[in-house]
Amino acid sequence: MDRFTFSTFVTNDDNWEPIELCLAIANQQPVQPQPLLLLGDSGSGKTHLLCAIVNHVKKHAPRTALAYVTARDFPAAVRALAEDAGPVIRADSAILLVDQFEKLAPDLLGLLARIAPLFLGQNRCLVIASQTRPENVPGLPAPVLSLIQSGRVARLRKAAATPAPGPVPQGVLQLESENASLRHELEAVRSEMAKLARAADELTRLQEQFIKVESDRQRLERGRAMFNETLAEQRILEQEVRSLQQALEETRKQRDACQADSAAFAAATAELAQLRQQLAAQPPLPERAAPAEDAQLPAQDELQQARQTVKDARGDLDRWALKAQAILQRVELNRARLAEDSERRLQRVLALQQRVEELAAPPVASAQEATGSEPNGAEAISRQLRDITDAATQSAAEDTENRLQALYAQLVDAARAIQQLSDRINDRTDPPETARPRPWYADPFPLPPDNASKGPGS
């Protein structure tokens, strides 16, 4: 079989088509339609071409699976393909060659009907050599006949007999040698071209895979960068939230201090009310008249007692007024500081809340899904910020100020009543030209001046 090659095949003008088709199959080039039927008389070269395919494939494509069957030799490995098609499916390429087709027994024809369809896929070929047309083969199953008729037929004819050659010139022998060498080189070039074509296809496939992998890598890098940026923003927001919580605690402490000042001022008001009751319980002063000598001494004693009582009341009043002034000034300072801090913190909370809503947008959600991270913490931070906003806007500063103003108004009323009593006493005892200083509580509400009189009892 080794001596049968494409270069040793005797050709004529009628045999070029079968030779080219068999050479293309040997080089694993596409030949359609399949299968290929070599139809020719005995001695036309059918077996020569089948053996040439075998020798060419063994030399240039050893990984191709080959199956060669004849009427006298149907290998057991080929028979086993009817039960297990794995060897054909796993092979990169496979070729089934059937010789002496017209002489196959009916059982072999039935077995061929089960095996032939396996060799009609991609990179798999079926070549059949026969002396008679398929429809004239006795016992041929209908599926095999239909399969062969759907393929391609290539006819082989015997080369014409030539007279006995005379002595061949040396130049002709040299040309025939060069021709045979060129045919071998042509077959090698065709085989290499087929390999290069397959390599180019594989290279194209690898380039497409590389481009896809590179695109996936870039998308993963972008997702990782977005995730790191979001994580950094989230850490900054957590720090801001902790800072706002601390500021809220300080605000609550200031509110508690204002409430404590309000309680102290309420106690002062209660004591002032007791003082007013004591003043109201004092008996009215007698009208100014010329006292008798025997009654002059008791009247002077009563007058001195009344003056002393007014003096003590004025001293207590001035002390409570100064204490109320200090409380109101501290409340006013705390209220202004609380309003300023609340406004500034509210602006910070609103800005942070806007940043949290931006971070909670769908692209951050896409990254997290792309990287398989934990659930996003931006919603929890947003809820904390809303809680801080509600707490920061709910302040008792205005209510505390209103209560202090009401208590301070009561304090001013009591001071004016004491002053009226003092004026009545002074009108009865002091000379008319005596000038008295204007008390601090005669000025408009709410705060007394810093240089308010401390009173005689201070």
Q: Both 130 and 256 in a single domain? A: no
Residue 52 lies in a domain: yes
Q: Give domain status of residue 115, yes or no.
A: yes
Residue 208 covered by a domain: no
- The residue among 441 and 311 whose pLDDT is bigger is 311
Residues 109 and 249 in one domain: no
More confident residue, 28 or 217: 217
Counting the structural domains of the chain, the total is 2
Mean per-residue pLDDT, 395-422: 60
Whether residue 347 has pLDDT greater than 50: yes
Quick check: is 177 in a domain?
A: no
> What confidence score (pLDDT) does residue 164 get?
47
Poorest-pLDDT segment among 65-79, 124-138, 152-166, 267-281: 152-166
Least confident residue range of 136-150, 250-264, 277-291, 443-457? 443-457
Which CATH number does the domain housing residue 47 bear? 3.40.50.300
* Same domain as 258, residue 144: no
Mean pLDDT (whole number) for 305-317? 75
Residues 226 and 154 in one domain: no
What domain range includes position 309?
A: 218-283+299-442
Asked whether 412 and 439 are in contact (CB, 8 A), the reply is no
pLDDT reading at 326 higher than 70? yes
> Is the model's pTM score more than 0.85?
no
Quick: pLDDT tens for 177-225.
677 778 878 888 988 898 999 999 999 999 999 999 999 999 999 999 9
CA 424/CA 64 separation, integer angstroms: 134
Mean model confidence pLDDT for the chain: 75
Q: What is the arithmetic mean of pLDDT over 426-452?
A: 49
Q: Percentage of residues in the chain with pLDDT exceeding 90?
A: 15
pLDDT of residue 227: 93
Mean pLDDT of 228-256: 86
Q: How far apart are CA 79 and CA 89, in angstroms?
A: 16
**Boundary of a domain, candidates 158, 175, 204:** 158
Return the pLDDT at 439. Answer: 54
Same domain, 118 and 242: no
Q: In which band, very low, low, confident or very high, does the pLDDT at 454 lie, cut at 50, 70 and 90?
A: very low
pLDDT of residue 128: 94
Domain boundary among 158, 175, 190: 158
pLDDT in tens, 368-408: 444 444 444 555 555 665 665 565 455 444 555 566 566 56
